[in-house]
Structure 1
Amino acid sequence: MKEKKQIRLTSAEIAQLWAQYLSDSASQCILLYFLEKVEDEEIKPIIEYAAQLSSRHIQEIANILTEEKHTLPQGFKVEDDVNLTAPRLYSDTYVLQFIHQMSKIGLTSYAASLSSTVRKDITDYYKSCLVDTMTLFEMSKDTLLTKGIYVRSPYFPNLDHVDLVEKQSFIWDFFGEKRPLTAIEVSNLYANAQRNALGIATLTGFSQVAKSKDVTQFFINGIEIAKKHVQLFSEKLAESDIPIAVSWAAEVTNVTSHVFSEKLMMFYVATLNAIGVGFYGTGIAQSPRIDLGVMYNKMSVQVQLYSEDGANIMIENKWLEQPPLASDRKELANKNNQS
């Protein structure tokens, strides 16, 4: 019987695998550091499970890309990018919140990756990633609930009837009195405030352990942007009498010694920026109120400009890996003419 030939990876599959390899290699460094410092015996198994997932994903992606004769990304390595003997930079509470947020982001990104797959083995791989990440999501969520530190979205009154929109002001009343926020608008504002609050804590720790002046200042600038965004989200929620008090700044210690490489920290912030812009885009799409769309657009531009500053630092220091590119046909043609 003739052996069935394996179909080549599509550009979408290569892009997703490449990006995930980088992310998981960075996550592995961070999680192994957390594992060395954890004191809470209820949180430790969650970190162990998350680290095991990252390690397994790295190996599985490496096997796929190697079989296809693709060069592996450089990524990040424990021996180069993290000091496991450094003092504790973040509390166990922060670590648990970090893992829970990353699991929620993982569920979104793996679903997107799955939807772009063609080959059965790649589809099966991302299906397993989703199942594993769902387990991590439930583990972290249940522990947050048990410890009484889970931050819930606001509650709404019970619905007793259905209304239809009767006025254009539901969407267009930009300067006048605003209608109350819809449930999905509240959900997005609250979730974005939470992510930015966690980002403030993350960048605070990074700014303390960075050694280069430009990298330190980059993190400080990011803290100021995130604080402003939390303030804007809070103001929009307050307009509908929805309080918000989210801060994890107290979960950062006073450590200033070397913990993570600047290359790793810059990559992680670049990843958070990209994710943040994506969530702001979702906020635009799901917010009928025009003022919210305008706000999200302004925030997105601000984050993109901040990301450009980060990319320039990474390029200058040779920290930015170039993703797979399409063939430059014009360059190939010119080379042929020169030979």
Structure 2
Amino acid sequence: MTSKAPITSSELANLWMAYQEKTMILRMLEHFIDHADNDEKQLLQSHYNNAAKTVEIITSIFQKEGAVSPIGFTESDVHKSAPKLYDYLYDIMYLHMMTKVEMSLYALFTGMSYRKDIEDLFTGLTAESQAMNSQSTQFLLERGVLIRPAFVSMPKEVHFVQDNNYMDGFKWFSETRPLNTVEVSLIHHAIETNLIGMQLMIGFAQVATDKEVQNYFVQGMKLSKKIEIDLGEFLRQSYIEPPATHAGKATTSKTAPFSNKLMMYNTSLLSSFGLGSNALGGAFSLRSDLPAKMAFIAKDITTFAQHGGKIMIKNGWMEEPPQIEDRNQLTK
């Protein structure tokens, strides 16, 4: 039997990123589980157990390869005596949002894996996140806090676009065409995610122990609200109400359950996910005003994310990914 091939740079990077994400999720779930009702706790604990197992597997791979394990996020990044930061069902709403991130992340990592054990790991994580997303979706639907996208009449015949104005989203003297279902689905998804993200930012802003970090979360809160309003207007123009929910609000607690480092990383991860989702929305939208709006949103998210990166570096919170050898040093 031949020995396993060395881990590639992409596999090392993806294992490293998975470790960061999973250790962060563990800390978030520890706070949620401490304050959860029994029904919620069972679902949260299941994801916690899966995440803990994944961290053990990745740690074992690093050890076998003779590599140092990342630090990620440890027990020092969660303060278990802190009161509940988010109210009714936010914990499951957060889980629902984060499993969307994980589904995209681990599916991408699977396609970037070459060694069978690494590929199997990410294939399993993709399936695991899909299953957890399904469970959290049904949980929230049963309790009436997750709003389904708009229902539409089923098509009875196939049509092909005949009008060159189909892609025109900027008209001064006449109405633009109604949104198609592809565009509605992408807008709904973006608004749903930003509503959850906005509450996350509100809670983080209330408990951040550094003024610059607090101001950053306030900026994130305002950005999420702006995105929700701007995209919601596209739905309203087609007489569709944007999604909204009465559940999952931040409490009035001012006691931080998480470290500033963890909250900043969580925000960075969601900003990256937002950029990816925004790019997808722009790419698949055929009405020209939608990609234009998505481009402006992407610019705002990029500026926000870059500002956050500078804060993390300034405070020594940004763990550096594994580096490749600097061959330029050989010529000096």
TM-score range, shorter chain: over 0.9
Is the deviation greater in 149-158 or in 43-52? 149-158
> Gapped runs of 5+ residues in structure 1?
335-339
Share of identical aligned residues, percent? 28
Which of the numbers 162, 169, 172 marks the counterpart of 2:168? 172
RMSD: 1.4
1:262-310 per-position Cα deviation (integer Å, ceiling 9, x unaligned): 0000000000100000000000111011110011111001111011111
Matched-pair contact (CA < 8 Å) for 1:42–1:143: no
* Change beyond 3 A, Cα 1:29–1:14: same
CA distance in 1, matches of 2:316, 2:291: 36
Q: Which moves more between the two structures, 227-236 or 60-69?
A: 60-69
Alignment coverage as a number of residue pairs: 330
- Cα shift at 1:129: 1.1
SS of 1:211's equivalent?
Answer: coil
Moved segments of 4+, more than 3 Å: 247-250
Q: Which residue is equivalent to 1:313?
A: 311
CA contact (8 A) 2:90 2:248 kept: no
Structure 1 position 158, deviation (Å): 1.5
Superposition deviation, residue 174 in structure 1: 2.4
| Structure 2 match to 1:156 | 152
Q: Which residue of 2 aligns with 1:106?
A: 102
Alpha-carbon distance in 2 for matches of 1:332, 1:272: 39
Offset at 1:248? 5.9
Distance across 1 between alignment mates of 2:313 and 2:166: 46
Q: Is 1:44 aligned with 2:62?
A: no
Deviations along 1:30-66, one digit per CA (max 9) or x if unpaired, are: 0011111112x21111100111111111111111122
Q: Single out whichever of 254-263 and 88-97 deviates more from structure 2.
A: 88-97
Residues 108 and 250 of structure 1: CA distance in aligned 2, closer, same or farther (over 3 Å): closer
The alpha-carbon deviation at position 151 of structure 1 amounts to 1.6
Unaligned runs of 5+ in 2: none
Name the TM-score, length of structure 2 as normaliser: 0.96
CA drift at 1:14: 1.2
| Distance of 2:247 and 2:302 partners within structure 1 | 24
Tell me the TM-score normalized by structure 1: 0.94
- C-alpha contact 2:24 2:73 (8 A) present in aligned 1: yes
1:117 to 113, 119, 122: 113
Query: In the alignment, which residue of structure 2 is the partner of 1:131?
Result: 127
- Following the alignment from structure 2 to structure 1, what is the Cα–Cα distance between the partners of residues 262 and 316? 12
Question: Paired residue for 1:226?
Answer: 224
Name 1:76's counterpart in structure 2. Answer: 73
Equivalent position of 1:332 in the other structure: 330
CA positional deviation for 1:149? 2.0
- What's the offset of the Cα at 1:238? 0.8
The corresponding residue for 2:31 is 33
Q: CA deviation at 1:173?
A: 4.4
Cα contact 1:193–1:234 (8 A) shared by 2: yes
The code of the aligned residue for 1:303 comes to I
Cα distance, 1:250 vs structure 2: 6.0
Letter in 1 for 2:277: F
Deviations 1:179-199 (A, max 9, x none): 111111100101100111101
Q: Corresponding residue for 1:195? A: 193
Distance 1:169 1:179, change over 3 A: same
Of 281, 284, 287, the match for 1:289: 287
Name whichever of 132-141 and 316-325 sits farther off: 132-141
